[in-house]
Amino acid sequence: MELLLYDAFNGLIVGMFYALMALGLSMILTLNSVVNMAHGGFLILGAYLAFTLEPYLGFWGALVAGPIVAMIFGLIVERILIRPIYKRDDPVYSLLLTFGLALIMQDLARTIWGPAGLPFAIPDSLNSSLSSSFFFLTGYRAVVVVIAFFTVVTLMLVMRYTRIGIRIRAGIRDLDTVSGLGVNIYVLRALNFAGGCFLAGLAGVLAAGQLGLTPTMGASLIMPSFVAIIVGGVGSFLGSVLGGLLIGVAAGIMTTYYPAASDAVIYGIMALVLIVRPRGLMGQEGMFE
Amino acid sequence: MSLLQLKGISRSFGSLRALEGVSLEMSEGELRAVIGPNGAGKTTLFNMVTGLFPPSAGEVRFDGHDVTGESAERRTRQGIVRTFQITEVFPDLTVFENLRIGVETAQRANALPWMSRTRRAAVERRVDELLSITGLASKSERVVSELAHGDQRVVEVAIALSLAPKLLMLDEPTAGMGDEETDNMVGLIRKLHDEQKLSILFIEHDMDVVFGIAQRITVLDQGRVLAEGTPDEVASDRRVRAAYLGEAA
Amino acid sequence: MNPRYLRLGVLWLLLLTVPWWLPYVGGYTQLGTRVLVYALAAMGLNLLLGFTGGLSFGHAAYYGLGAYGVGLTLKYLAPSTPLALVIGTLVGGVAATLLGPTLMRRRGVYFAMITLAFGQLFYFIVVRWNNVTGGEDGLTGFQRQPLHFGGYVLPLHDVTFYYLVLFCFAIATAVMGIILRSPLGHTWVAIRENRRRAQFLGIPVERYVWASFAVSGFVTALAGGLNAMLNNFTSPLDLYWVLSGDFVIIAVLGGMRSFWGPLLGAIIYLVAQDYLSSITDNWQSFIGVIFILVVLLFPRGMLGMLRAKARSA
């Protein structure tokens, strides 16, 4: 029983990473209409840069710096590479472009930091367990939960109540009208893309503390994030978050009983959702149909 | 013979009442115009008749049976064919190829992975026929996206024609056209009605066109039928004049 | 003579004589075989991508399933090359056919995402089922078997195997060519050009997209099977999403809207990849740059550009 709780909790933590990734991906998917295959690249950018800066800024400084660097890079990429192709009506181009970017980012990470896994140092204070009965409830994991929760809630509030959040949500529904109302959609899309990349970078730093750093961690975290979006429902940010948590926990629980299938179960859930409720748990009708 | 019957059609979008209690009856072989100020519900009516969405209330009967719940594809196969306000054609294909799809669809041949030479020739003959009826023969090898706007809209009508429709619904056929193109389209509509004996229902804003060719006119205003009758009846109807010109009723 | 037939004639003449002239330009027969395999895979994908407008970023799944189908047949079932190819093609093709309904109603990027995720599903099944498939290390222990024609036995060395692949390629392209010139092909193109107009012609668009997905799956699976026999080896990398992206870039690079585009794309891409991986460790970055350059500068692909120039001339 304790093993089940342990695996489920581990799965929840990984699910947090999926949720953060999926949320960022979902933002970019719905407003920029881009499947950001390079999202994993932004994840490793945040992670590796935090790793490099940690000796100078400490853990908490690196935790802040990583996502910010990812965000800045996201702004640059959006301006130079993505903006020229918005007017193309075939989505194959944005897919190929971000795909190529992903290849480059992964390769450069491997070249600069080496193909081997690197450890990401977390403060000793966070290393110990917070509870005697649940040894796996370490300080670090609690921090992950708190930060992820805080970030998601903040983003939801921003989306709901701030001007820019409202504009983004309106833009997702009808970008032309928003533009016609005088909103600068270029800035809107740039900020949205950067926001998504920030989340990827944050997921990267948090994941580095839990799983260590490898050049392939971006690729291995991005695929389940796509599933999270599909399961949670396209067009729903909350759905993406819940979807991420759900598949994380499911994969975790599966490790207790049948470890070999723990990653396949994610795709099994996806297939089930697509057959039973194609628009996802919280998805909206009519999107991308 | 009654071809199209709308009984008490209402359609709301949330709190917006787009159509309210609209009833309409159109006979076979009729050339009917639907007019009304902007926002009157004309295109909503078209969308509903062609099956883009169902009515909130009411019934649609076509050719003797109830089609209210049927999908757009099914209705098209039953003979209701429409054109759109913003031209919908196959842009990167030639005029010939555009019409060929229509002809192959009409012959229920879409799924064939192979076609014999004789049948292919028959399809081509039918396309040539349509090209000459619509006056597009000289442009058959041109890519549609490169044609003038007016010609593109004629191509769209030709595609609709290739399905051998029982009811041809044209959404603002002369939209965006200059005088010459408008005359051309009007002539085509007249020809399709007089020579090809087609039943045509069309939305128009250009009153010269409407009063020039329509046999009967239905006037919509704010989702309701304001008036219906022959051009003379409608022109002299005071409510219609009020709606359009703002005169006191 | 009709210029189209002339061009086709030259193309097939070149393809038929590859083992002779390819070494003179610095190549080798196996490279030619690889080009044909990738071209076939990309042409299969292009039935869906370029001609029907369905963006699949997970086609490597059917390619890989074809490969494993061939490998497992040769290893466990029977030492018969034709049987292996048939089974491999069926496995991949049926998988694609079964997935069709989940995708039919979706379009654009969401369609792509689902294909991507399903690709990964098959990847993980193959990786985890390692007592059958050999897992991450790949499937070994099988070999392409000589062909038996009555009493005559034809061993499949480099050159003879090239001709077997060319034979399959010829049949597959002939079938695809016939279909694309048929009403079915016309309907697919209509769906690509204007899905709404096709719907309002009464065409049940979803079913046709499904059919296109299924046929393209069969063709790509055949290519995967041939690849397995080329290397006498297959691994989960043959199902990996990176390979799916390779197929898409090959189609786009050569020209999505043209039938032979993917062949040209395969030639350029494989030669570039071969060359780059021999001179630098960071060839993957250069491949990524190629992706980006093609998108930004050559969206219509090589053949697309030539065609546009010819039209404006």
What is the SS3 assignment for C252-284?
HHHCCCCCCHHHHHHHHHHHHHHHHHHHCCCHH
Q: ipTM of this predicted complex?
A: 0.89
A247 assigned to some structural domain? yes
Q: Which residues pair with B65 in a beta bridge?
A: B62
B102–C193 C-beta distance less than 8 A: no
User: Using a CB cutoff of 8 Å and minimum separation of 24, what contacts does C202-209 make?
Assistant: C202/B73, C202/B74, C202/B76, C202/B77, C202/B105, C202/B163, C203/B73, C203/B105, C203/B110, C204/B73, C205/B73, C206/C104, C206/C105, C207/C104, C208/B110, C208/B111, C208/C52, C208/C184, C209/C48, C209/C52, C209/C54, C209/C100, C209/C103, C209/C104
Q: How far apart are CA B132 and CA B191, in angstroms?
A: 12
A35–C109 C-beta distance less than 8 A: yes
Residue written as tokens 């060395």?
C157
Minimal C-alpha gap between B224 and chain C (Å): 26
Chain C neighbors of B81, CB-CB under 8 A: 200-201
Report pLDDT digits (tens) over C160-190: 999 999 999 999 999 999 999 999 999 999 9
Q: How far apart are CA B153 and CA B189, in angstroms?
A: 12
A198 assigned to some structural domain? yes
Mean per-residue pLDDT of chain A: 88
What's residue B249's pLDDT?
A: 41
Minimal C-alpha gap between C312 and chain A (Å): 21
More confident call, C129 vs C73: C73
Report pLDDT digits (tens) over A161-189: 888 888 888 888 888 888 888 888 899 99
Q: How many CA atoms lie within 13 A of B53 on its CB side?
A: 14
Q: How far apart are CA C57 and CA A100, in angstroms?
A: 13
Chain B neighbors of C179, CB-CB under 8 A: 113-114
Span C108-124, average pLDDT: 88
Contacts of B67 (CB under 8 A, 6+ apart): B51, B60, B61, B74, B75, B78, B80
C117–A289 C-beta distance less than 8 A: no
Q: How far is CA A53 from CA A41, A201, B122, C225, in A?
A: 18, 14, 74, 48
Q: Which residues pair with C154 in a beta bridge?
A: C147
A95–C117 C-beta distance less than 8 A: no
Span A222-233, average pLDDT: 92
B90–C190 C-beta distance less than 8 A: yes
- Indicate contact of A with B: 3+ CB pairs under 8 A: no
Share of chain A above pLDDT 70, in %: 96
Minimal C-alpha gap between B151 and chain C (Å): 17
A160 assigned to some structural domain? yes
The one-letter amino acid at C110: Y
Query: Closest Cα partner for B135 from B150, B113, B114?
Result: B150
Residue written as tokens 């400084």?
A61
Q: Report the residue of chain C nearest B79, measured CA to CA.
A: C202
**Residue A119 pLDDT grade (very low, low, confident, very high; cuts 50, 70, 90):** confident
* Contact indicator for B226, B19 with CB cutoff of 8 Å: no
Q: Which of B49, B77, B84, B101 to mutate to test the interface with C (most CBs of C within 10 A)?
A: B101
The one-letter amino acid at A279: R
- Indicate contact of C with A: 3+ CB pairs under 8 A: yes
Alpha helix (H) ranges present in chain B?
Answer: 42-49, 72-78, 95-106, 117-134, 149-162, 179-194, 207-213, 231-236, 238-245
A6, pLDDT greater than 60: yes
What's residue C173's pLDDT?
A: 97
Query: Closest Cα partner for A219 from B193, C245, B233?
Result: C245
Q: How far apart are CA A110 and CA C289, in angstroms?
A: 16
Q: Tell me the torsion sign for CA atoms B126, B127, B128, B133.
A: positive
Is the CB of A84 inside 8 Å of chain C's CB atoms?
yes
* Contact indicator for B162, B126 with CB cutoff of 8 Å: yes
What's residue A287's pLDDT?
A: 60
Among the partner residues C189, C196, C203, nearest to B105 by beta-carbon distance: C203
* Contact indicator for A101, C288 with CB cutoff of 8 Å: yes
B110–C200 C-beta distance less than 8 A: no
Minimal C-alpha gap between A143 and chain C (Å): 30
What's residue A133's pLDDT?
A: 65
The DSSP result for B157-188, as a single string, is HHHHHHT--SEEEEESTTTT--HHHHHHHHHH
CA angle, residues C228, C231, C234, in degrees to nearest 5: 50
Share of chain A above pLDDT 90, in %: 45
A226–C110 C-beta distance less than 8 A: no
What's residue B248's pLDDT?
A: 45
* Contact indicator for C159, C26 with CB cutoff of 8 Å: no
Among the partner residues A108, A261, A287, nearest to C128 by beta-carbon distance: A261
Q: How far is CA A283 from CA A17, A24, A230, A236, in A?
A: 21, 16, 8, 6
Chain C neighbors of B73, CB-CB under 8 A: 199-200, 202-205
Helix axes A39-77, A185-211, angle to 10 degrees: 150
**Residue A138 pLDDT grade (very low, low, confident, very high; cuts 50, 70, 90):** confident
Q: Which residues of C105-121 are buried (b: 16+ CB within 10 A; e: fewer)?
A: ebbbbbbbbbbbbbbbb
Give C 234-273 residues with CB within 8 A of chain B: 257
Is the CB of A138 inside 8 Å of chain C's CB atoms?
no
- Chains B, C: CB pairs < 8 Å: 81
A287 assigned to some structural domain? no
DSSP state of B90: -
The residues of chain B scoring below 50 in pLDDT are 247-249
Among the partner residues B81, B91, B114, nearest to C182 by beta-carbon distance: B114
Listed in order, strand segments (DSSP E) in C55-158 are 147-149, 152-154
Contacts of A90 (CB under 8 A, 6+ apart): C55
What does chain B come to in residues?
249
B114–C194 C-beta distance less than 8 A: no
* Contact indicator for C250, A99 with CB cutoff of 8 Å: no
Chain A neighbors of C252, CB-CB under 8 A: 92, 96
A268 assigned to some structural domain? yes
A113, pLDDT greater than 80: yes
Is the CB of A93 inside 8 Å of chain C's CB atoms?
yes
Cβ neighbourhood burial of B212 (10 Å; 0-12, 13-18, 19+): middle
Is the CB of A289 inside 8 Å of chain C's CB atoms?
yes
C252–A100 C-beta distance less than 8 A: no
A61 assigned to some structural domain? yes
Span A271-282, average pLDDT: 84
CATH number at residue A266: 1.10.3470
Count structural domains, chain A. Answer: 1
What does chain A come to in residues?
289
Report pLDDT digits (tens) over A13-60: 999 999 999 999 999 998 898 889 999 999 999 999 999 998 898 888
What does chain C come to in residues?
313
Tokens of C50: 């370029």
Q: How far apart are CA C291 and CA B166, in angstroms?
A: 50
Q: Which CATH architecture has domain C3-312?
A: Orthogonal Bundle (1.10)
Contacts of B87 (CB under 8 A, 6+ apart): B149, B152, B153, B156
What's residue B246's pLDDT?
A: 57
Q: How far is CA C16 from CA B242, C9, C21, C31, C155, in A?
A: 79, 10, 10, 14, 19
Report pLDDT digits (tens) over C226-256: 999 999 999 999 999 999 999 999 999 999 9
A285 assigned to some structural domain? no
Q: Tell me the torsion sign for CA atoms A85, A91, A95, A96.
A: negative
Q: How far apart are CA C24 and CA A33, in angstroms?
A: 47
Q: Which of A36, A92, A93 to mutate to test the interface with C (most CBs of C within 10 A)?
A: A92
Contact partners for chain B, using 3 or more CB pairs closer than 8 A, are C
A260–C290 C-beta distance less than 8 A: no
A289 assigned to some structural domain? no
Contact partners for chain C, using 3 or more CB pairs closer than 8 A, are A, B
The range of the structural domain enclosing residue A75 comes to: 2-276
More confident call, A258 vs B186: B186
Give the domains, in start order, of chain B with CATH numbers: 2-245 (3.40.50.300)
Is the CB of C280 inside 8 Å of chain A's CB atoms?
no
Chain A neighbors of C46, CB-CB under 8 A: none
Chain C neighbors of A90, CB-CB under 8 A: 55
| Other Cβ atoms closer than 10 A to C155 | 10
